[in-house]
Amino acid sequence: MIPLKELDGEEDNKHMTEKNWALLNGLALAYVGDAIYETYIRDYLVEQGYTKPSQLHKTATHFVSAKAQSFLMHEMLAEEDFLTEEEVTMYKRGRNSKSYTSAKNADITTYRVATGFESLMGYLHLAKRTERMEELIQWCIKKVEATKDDKR
């Protein structure tokens, strides 16, 4: 159960409280973030004219694989003042979570950084920070498109 955060100090007023998503387990945030980010990427690819399932899947991996997400997260962290302190905290919550599964095609460090990336996306989505989440996703799309031919 997600703790509630009081908005106006009145404990009995259910309409004036919201869930405090910042307290949610990093893996739960990543679970949501994985689905949200992949949905945006799928929408983008179809909008770009990709229609064949094999083509969609192959192209999507450039954006949604653990390797791609790890690359994007490192790029975000490298840009000065790009992420807020709270966003970095949500990334670290996912990255530092103890997962009992691992990626099929990535080492543990890459997998953990990718989990942090998904955790950040999940947090922004659940906290209804859609504009910021979409800003980051558009940045990711541009970054991947600019480096698609590179060997990562």
Delineate the domains of the chain, giving CATH numbers in brackets: 23-150 (1.10.1520.10)
pLDDT at 15: 42
In degrees and rounded to multiples of 5, residue 5 shows phi and psi of: -110, 125
Exposed, middle or buried, 51 (CB in 10 Å: 0-12/13-18/19+)?
exposed
Using DSSP, state whether 117 is helix, strand or coil.
Answer: helix
- The model's pTM is 0.83
Nearest to 117 by CA among 65, 62, 43: 65
**pLDDT score, position 108:** 87
Q: Any idea which residues carry the catalytic annotation?
A: 34
The DSSP H or E segment spanning 5 is: strand 4-6
pLDDT at 107: 86
Question: How many CB atoms lie under 10 A from the CB of residue 28?
Answer: 17
Residues of the chain with pLDDT under 50: 6-7, 10, 12-17, 151-152
At residue 97, the pLDDT reads 83
